[in-house]
Structure 1
């Protein structure tokens, strides 16, 4: 049985601002996170199978992260714990509008130290989709490991999923970030960007223009998330925009990851090549993904907020009633 989605990249602790104590000191709640790990959880909760490849420290945080993924039923056989490095930490403040600001402890973080030689090549080759982000491109050896793993996956007919995730503080410069983030576009079969990343990835601010530019570089399906306005999906057949759902926002952390988990789960279960999935079907995928994200933002944290397939189905049934 092939795994629906195998993801490689960062797994870390999000310390999210959680008010102040009686003495006025800031309190931060410990949440498991990291975009590729979030996607794995999202896929599993939506009825798919997933595996995570990555590295943590051999410390309390790494042990906690591995335990969380294991408890979710995710394959963690290739989640390496390395005593030479510390698990990456991200401190996240959330503004009144639900938007986030990040500060990272990652110099280097364990997630950047995964080598290709430590990766389970059989796990990658026996997946329907191999998913990566862009934070594994910031440092070696993870950068080379990402590229070699993608080449291996493509050689075995595995769909490549790419979700660039721009975090300015993790790059030496915006120019380097743009170069590295754009370098994976030609390898991707299906990819997602946010409306804040259109110019970085394509040189065009308009979401539709950005999607069309990216499609011309190799991907068969491109999605652009538009915040509260929903999302756009594009293929060679054309583009569609699907409105988002109104939702009380507690925390936007993990919304994009849950959205993408929903898209990938549906693509994995379509059992046909991406180029054969028509635009009407992609539009239905997008609606389900928008609903998944709408439920995610209602709760705090990323992984803790990810909904199940049943919860999304009930939400959509109530909307359609």
Structure 2
């Protein structure tokens, strides 16, 4: 089976308890969550990341390997942290202590699919884009975190450049709302499709998702669930989508050229179900293959 290589940050989420004084330490980071989701769904996956030689780094490494992820670690002074506060609707906000500065990335030469995005793609754009340009197939999720980014115009330029290196792109309506505050997110997805990707998907929370391909626009509703929080839901969507595309023989250039409403039906269902399951439990806790099979 083709190996998916995920490039990006792994960190520890310090999730505030109700009193605001105690915190739960959960392994996290968008790319790491996606790698874990892919591993739990039975896919061969490597995560190329940075971690410190510390207690949090060991916590993250154990979490990755338990999910079947093979980590390739670039040493860092400390393991990155995100302080997570969840509001009454289960929606998280983040404060970060992170550094992601690598001169080059140690990406396996037999990489079949490379997924990247999030903070690593913003903070180490040069090495990340070099890896994207060298990969046979690229998946990308910008996963916008405004407190750590530059001005909106320069970030739009960076994101659009990285989209031009990608074959599959997923973004939330919140991402697009920050990048293009005056534009409809679905219209932006159509513009992004024109930059080169075969598939662009916009997630819309409880309203499901919209996919844009050469054959047109596809809308799918989200499963109705009791939401505990939405931490990691977008990452679970991405891992479910990639796993579904791979299972359907679509995660290569020829397969993606055939992406339409029929071929994308199962991958989109897997993606939406993965996100929904994650919303029913606290933290970034994507489903296993058996849990997803039961839900779909």
Q: Tell me which of 97, 106, 118 is aligned to 1:119.
A: 106
Alignment partner of 2:132 out of 122, 135, 150: 150
TM-score by length of 1: 0.86
Of 109, 132, 135, 2:119 maps to: 135
Distance 1:40 1:51 in 2: 7
Name the structure 2 match of 1:159.
Answer: 137
Cα distance per residue 1:111-153 (max 9 Å; x no partner): x12231x513xx2x423310011311333xx221101111221
Asked if residue 34 in structure 1 is aligned to residue 12 in structure 2, the reply is no
**Aligned match for 1:312, one of 282, 292, 296:** 292
Aligned match of 2:279: 297
CA contact (8 A) 2:12 2:82 kept: yes
Change over 3 Å in CA distance of 1:306–1:134 after alignment to 2: closer
Contact 1:260 1:289 in 2 (8 A): yes
Gaps of at least 5 residues in structure 2 are none
Structure with bigger gyration radius:
1
Matching residue of 1:45: 40
- Conserved 8 A contact 1:204-1:210: no
Give the conservation status (yes or no) of the 8 Å contact 1:198–1:204.
no
**Cα distance per residue 1:192-246 (max 9 Å; x no partner):** 0111122455676323312211111100001100110111111000111110011
Q: 210, 221, 237: which is aligned to 1:232?
A: 210
Contact 1:44 1:72 in 2 (8 A): yes
2:231 is aligned with 1:253:
yes
What is residue 61 of structure 2 aligned with on the other side? 66
Please give the TM-score of this superposition, normalised by the length of structure 2. Answer: 0.93
1:182, distance to aligned residue in structure 2 (A): 2.2
- Confirm or deny: 8 A CA contact 1:182 1:201 kept in the other structure: no
Q: Say what the alpha-carbon RMSD is for the aligned residues.
A: 1.7
Deviation for aligned residue 1:309: 1.9
Contact kept in structure 2, 1:16 and 1:30, CA below 8 Å: yes
The reply to whether residue 87 of structure 1 matches residue 75 of structure 2 is no
Q: Contact 1:233 / 1:283 at 8 angstroms: preserved in 2?
A: no
CA distance, structure 2, for counterparts of residue 16 and residue 8 of structure 1:
24
Name the SS for the 1:113 alignment partner.
coil
On the 8 A contact 1:208/1:239 being kept in 2, the answer is: no
Supply the distance in 1 between the matched residues of 2:259 and 2:155 (Cα, whole angstroms). 32
**Conservation of the 8 A alpha-carbon contact between 2:8 and 2:121:** no
Query: Are 1:258 and 1:292, in contact at CA under 8 Å, matched by a contact in 2?
Result: yes
Q: State the partner residue of 2:5.
A: 6
After TM superposition, give the deviation of residue 80 of structure 1 in Å.
2.5
**How many corresponding residue pairs?**
292
Report if the CA contact (8 A) 1:54-1:114 is conserved: no
